[in-house]
């Protein structure tokens, strides 16, 4: 982390990119390995997304313990957005992921990447990037429910998902995602202090 007088606007070095790559790989592996359970039905899809956000709080907070300059959280989120896009998510979703990643970077930057409170707030903001997959269900439902992200799923799954993802449900789900991010980040911070720092990993 930067010292009090050290600028957070410094050139990004190879070791920074390695940190981004390692933690983004862990984050994405957990996300998509657990995410396959969502194919069971749309309700499980929503529930498992909440679990993913909570569990990955530890990944993100450990990553934040290595962040000391602007732009790294944005790169972290951009990798997530690209995977979103490759999986068939609407371009709108991927752009929202990048937008919320930039916002999360700014939030962490307000605390100069040294504040634990701002690191937690950063992950709560990043939770909106994860939620971005679902946002087009409200913003552009026709395009969302006919997109390629539904390829390979049962026809009744898409029908059930469309019935489930009403505006009130999606808005409530957004709030739940933020709460999951909050508690996941708090737990992640605890583990970072208790285990990872003792092991020299944070």
Cβ-based neighbours of 157, under 8 Å, separated by 6 or more = 39, 41, 42, 150
Instruction: Evaluate whether 147 touches 88 at the Cβ level (below 8 Å).
Output: yes
Domain assignments of the chain as residue spans, ordered by start: 14-196
Residues with pLDDT less than 50, the chain: 1-2, 199
Neighbour-count burial of 186, counting CB atoms closer than 10 A to its CB (0-12 exposed, 13-18 middle, 19+ buried) = middle
pTM, rounded to two decimals? 0.87
pLDDT of residue 201: 54
Note the pLDDT of residue 196: 56
62 neighbors 201 (Cβ within 8 angstroms): yes
Contact 77, 100 (CB under 8 A): yes
Q: How far apart are alpha carbons 113 and 128 in whole angstroms?
A: 20
State residue 113's pLDDT score.
93
Residues 58-71 pLDDT 10s: 999 999 988 889 99
pLDDT in the model for residue 66:
87
């Amino acid at each position: 982390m930067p010292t009090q007088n050290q600028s957070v606007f410094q050139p990004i070095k190879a070791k920074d990119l390695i940190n981004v790559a390692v933690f983004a790989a862990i984050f994405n592996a957990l996300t998509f390995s657990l995410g396959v359970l969502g194919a069971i039905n749309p309700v499980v899809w929503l529930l498992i997304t909440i679990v993913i956000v909570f569990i990955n709080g530890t990944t993100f907070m450990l990553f934040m313990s290595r962040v000391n300059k602007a732009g790294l959280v944005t790169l972290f989120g951009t990798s997530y957005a690209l995977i979103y896009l490759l999986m068939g998510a609407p371009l709108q979703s991927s752009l929202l992921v990048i937008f919320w990643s930039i916002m999360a970077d700014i939030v962490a930057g307000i605390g100069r990447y040294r504040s634990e409170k701002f690191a937690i707030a950063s992950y709560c903001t990043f939770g909106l990037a994860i939620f971005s997959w679902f946002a087009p269900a409200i913003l552009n439902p026709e395009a969302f429910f006919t997109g390629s992200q539904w390829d390979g799923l049962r026809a009744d799954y898409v029908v059930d998902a469309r019935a489930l993802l009403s505006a009130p449900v999606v808005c409530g789900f957004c709030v739940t995602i933020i709460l999951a991010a909050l508690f996941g980040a708090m737990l992640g911070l605890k583990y970072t202090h208790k285990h990872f720092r003792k092991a020299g990993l944070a």
